[in-house]
Chain A
Amino acid sequence: NAGVTQTPKFQVLKTGQSMTLQCAQDMNHNSMYWYRQDPGMGLRLIYYSASEGTTDKGEVPNGYNVSRLNKREFSLRLESAAPSQTSVYFCASTRDLLGGQFFGPGTRLTVL
């Protein structure tokens, strides 16, 4: 039982490059989330998926897209990376929108 897994763990991009962050959970959870964490800003919600087939914007969705591929997987795509997207990205999942959240280990992204 791996919980929530994220790939890659680290990534360096140049401005304008694109990439997809992958997230998978094996807890049969319905809801999944993408956060970014920046010093002094705390955790900010980018997008979430209440259930398979649905996605909604969070606080800071600009510059990102998401796909809920199936119940297990929720990916985050940066189409044209910018230095302001340098951050640590966390994926989380919950049984439902009001349940306790379980987090992945994070992806450290640097955009030069």
Chain B
Amino acid sequence: KQEVTQIPAALSVPEGENLVLNCSFTDSAIYNLQWFRQDPGKGLTSLLLIQSSQREQTSGRLNASLDKSSGRSTLYIAASQPGDSATYLCAVHNAGNNRKLIWGLGTSLAVNP
């Protein structure tokens, strides 16, 4: 059974720091992996989607990498800003008949001015 883990659960950093959020999954047979951002009291916003055949995706200051063989993905945020404060969630689509997303519990990020 696929399980998705995000460590740490919470992270506090000073503004300007480069940081890495981690996502690990137990079954490497995935179709894709998606990173989301959730602001307090709001819905989820999709940040990046990486297909299983890809190694990384970039959007602005965000870079997500995928290593299927080790069951890991990282979300790199460059030059963090207070506006980056949010909860970041990752989710994987299993390959095969189960087309539903399997979710991690998220990392709550606080970027301090």
Chain A residues packing against B (C-beta within 8 Å): 4, 40, 42-43, 45, 48, 50, 58, 90, 92, 97-98, 100-106
Contacts and interface: CB of A to CB of B under 8 A. Distances in A.
Interface of B: 31-32, 34, 36, 42-46, 49, 89, 91, 93, 99-101, 103-106
B104 A104 contact: no
Contacts of A42: 89, 103-106
B42 A106 contact: yes
A65 B106 CA distance: 28
A105 to B, nearest CB: 5
A103 B43 contact: yes
B96 to A, nearest CB: 11
Given A100-B49, A101-B34, A58 B43 contact: no
Contacts of A40: 105
10 contacts: A42-B89, A42-B105, A43-B89, A43-B91, A48-B100, A58-B100, A98-B31, A100-B34, A100-B46, A101-B34
